[in-house]
Amino acid sequence: MGYGQTTSAGLDTTFAALADPTRRAILARLASGEASVSELAKPFAMSQPAISKHLKVLEQAGLISRGRDAQRRPRRIEGRPLADASGWLEGYRKFWEGSFRRLDALLDELKTSGKKKRKPRAHRKRGNKR
């Protein structure tokens, strides 16, 4: 569910950027330290322009940024959008867990009140009594 704190446009961009396995691998590589485009291209057996395309998507999603070194232009990972994305899913799970725990309690209550009302268990039709 929404959990309001993050804009949906931001999450859309984040998820779209994360949907690609190469981009996830690039992020994983950058998680161990910043790297230049050519350093990133090596392990992927991809051309630099192809890698650059992926980097552009990641950059636009705010997942990576460029370092100060003017020659290498190293890319580095940005944590915030990732934290938002995973925070969202975590929120989804928490939402249902919290809700279902309450539902457990409510069902217990309904069972108890049902037993009281329904005694004796005659052939009572629905809507007979509220």
Partner 1 sequence: MNNTGSLKISAQGDREIMMTRVFEAPRRLVFEAFTKPELVKRWLLGPPGWSMPVCEMDVRVGGTYRWVWRHDSKGTEMGVSGVYREIVPPERIVSTEKFDHAWYPGEALGTVVLTEQGGKTTLTQTLLYESREARDGVLQSPMEQGVAASYDRLAEIVAAQLAGGN
Please report, as ranges, the residues that interact with partner 1 according to CB under 8 A. 1-5, 7-8, 11-12, 15-16, 18-19, 24, 27-29, 31-32, 77-80, 82-83, 85-86, 88-90, 92-100, 102-108, 110-111, 114
Structure tokens at 49: 């322009």
Question: Residue for token digits 């309690």?
Answer: 105
Task: Report the residue number, 38 or 65, with the smaller CB distance to partner 1.
Answer: 65
Shortest approach of partner 1 to residue 122 CB, angstroms?
A: 17
User: How far apart are alpha carbons 55 and 37 in whole angstroms?
Assistant: 8
Task: Report the residue number, 33 or 47, with the smaller CB distance to partner 1.
Answer: 33
Q: How far is CA 96 from its chain centroid?
A: 15
Shortest approach of partner 1 to residue 92 CB, angstroms?
A: 8
C-alpha distances (whole Å) from 64 to each of 9, 11, 69 are: 17, 15, 15
Task: Report the residue number, 10 or 46, with the smaller CB distance to partner 1.
Answer: 10
Task: Report the residue number, 50 or 106, with the smaller CB distance to partner 1.
Answer: 106
Q: Are 81 and 10 in contact (CB under 8 A)?
A: yes
